Chain A
Amino acid sequence: MKGLSVLLQKEWREHIRNYKVLWIPIVFIVFGILEPVTNHFLPEIMKSVGNLPEGADFTWPEFKGEEIFVSLLGQYQLIGVLVIILAFMGTISGERKNGTATLLYVRPVSFRYYFLSKWIVVNGIVLGSVWLGFMAAWYYIDALYNHVNALPVLGFIATYSIWLIFVVTVVLALSAWLPTGGAAGLAILVTLVYQVIDSLIGAYWSVSPWKLSMYASYWFNPDSELSDLWMSLCLTVILIAILVLFGIFMSRRNAAKTTV
């Protein structure tokens, strides 16, 4: 266990030095604040910059707080996941390329701890950022819209967190397998592009990690069927475990590719 805690400290220090512990939370918080505020002021914004024809009278949809949460999730699904992929695509492959890995591999560290330390720290940063973002959004939603009950919000955030852990695991496992560019491309393909496919032709199956972000919003709807959600959660957790094993295996196999 001592090996793991040393590696955790190393990862944490690295992410402080490259400012990831600072800028990733700020990005998620800014999006979390922007979403409720822009939706709230949409009619006024359109009035002043929208070039609406004279006398045009739109009835703007009255948003409820729950809908703002869902639309914020939509933002995170695109920009947030992209930021996660691009920020962490080189976590292992970049280390191999710039030679940091050489300094590590000559020491008696187990690859299990090596991969797990990265997995834990990256997940910590990502989940912390997204939670902060949702908290900021929650505060604004309470102030600008209506009060949203705590329990659905927590279920919503928890479900989405499992999806985010899945994304992080995909990115890290691919980063252990491929060079940085390939890892980023394949990760975007697996998470973002496949999600579109899953939503287009995915009507035939209901259990899939890519549907978690949709199922998360079921928490706001008291009479929705949650069994698909639980099945998807189980499947996602199993996939995460398999991907972690794959990542450990690949970081061991590719150890020889490090730059000396």
Chain B
Amino acid sequence: MKFMAELANIPWNLILPIIVLQLILMTIALIDVIRHQRTNGPFIMWIFIIVFVNLIGPILYFVFGRRQV
């Protein structure tokens, strides 16, 4: 119950936009990686980087991982 109370204490209206934007960024990167599968380095590695490295992961993928065609 204490956990739930703490959860309710978080000012979600402030945090939510950040989470949504990060999810959008992650989704775009994932869609791109899965559709093209042509990356610098193994593409499974990029999926892990995109999903687990917060915020910087998708940026890293778009800058370094994406092979320009």
A interface residues, Cβ below 8 angstroms from B: 18-20, 22-23, 26-27, 29-30, 33-34, 37, 83, 86-87, 90, 94, 98, 136, 140, 143-144
Given the interface pairs A27-B25, A98-B69, the reply to whether A19 lies near B18 with Cβ below 8 Å is no
Q: What are the residues of chain A within 8 A of B28 when measuring CB–CB? A: 19, 22-23
Given the interface pairs A29-B21, A33-B18, A140-B14, the reply to whether A23 lies near B66 with Cβ below 8 Å is no
Q: Is B63 positioned at the interface, with any CB of A under 8 Å from its CB?
A: yes
For A94, the closest partner residue in chain B by CB is B68
Q: Is B17 positioned at the interface, with any CB of A under 8 Å from its CB?
A: yes
Q: By the criterion CB–CB under 8 Å, are B25 and A18 in contact?
A: no
Smallest beta-carbon distance B62→chain A, Å: 5
B interface residues, Cβ below 8 angstroms from A: 14-15, 17-18, 21-22, 24-25, 28-29, 32, 55, 58-59, 62-64, 66, 68-69
Cβ-defined partner of A87 (8 Å) among B21, B22, B62? B62
Question: Other than the known A18-B66, A26-B25, what 12 A-B pairs have Cβ atoms closer than 8 Å?
Answer: A19-B28, A23-B28, A23-B29, A23-B59, A26-B21, A27-B25, A27-B59, A37-B14, A86-B63, A87-B63, A94-B68, A144-B14
Q: By the criterion CB–CB under 8 Å, are B58 and A23 in contact?
A: yes
Q: What are the residues of chain B within 8 A of A87 when measuring CB–CB? A: 62-63
Q: What are the residues of chain A within 8 A of B69 when measuring CB–CB? A: 98
Q: What are the residues of chain B within 8 A of A86 when measuring CB–CB? A: 63-64
The 5 closest A-B pairs by CB, nearest first: A86-B63, A26-B25, A30-B21, A33-B18, A26-B21
Smallest beta-carbon distance A68→chain B, Å: 14
Given the interface pairs A30-B22, A33-B18, A37-B18, the reply to whether A18 lies near B59 with Cβ below 8 Å is no
Q: By the criterion CB–CB under 8 Å, are B18 and A98 in contact?
A: no
Smallest beta-carbon distance B60→chain A, Å: 10
Q: By the criterion CB–CB under 8 Å, are A83 and B59 in contact?
A: yes
Smallest beta-carbon distance A176→chain B, Å: 17
**Max count, chain A CB within 10 A of own CB: residue among B17, B62, B66:** B62
Q: By the criterion CB–CB under 8 Å, are B18 and A30 in contact?
A: yes
For A29, the closest partner residue in chain B by CB is B21
Cβ-defined partner of A30 (8 Å) among B55, B62, B64? B55
Complexed CA–CA distance, A94 and B67 (Å): 11
Cβ-defined partner of A34 (8 Å) among B18, B32, B63, B68? B18
For B24, the closest partner residue in chain A by CB is A26
For B66, the closest partner residue in chain A by CB is A18
Complexed CA–CA distance, A143 and B18 (Å): 16
Q: By the criterion CB–CB under 8 Å, are B68 and A19 in contact?
A: no
Q: What are the residues of chain A within 8 A of B63 when measuring CB–CB? A: 83, 86-87
Q: What are the residues of chain B within 8 A of A30 when measuring CB–CB? A: 18, 21-22, 25, 55
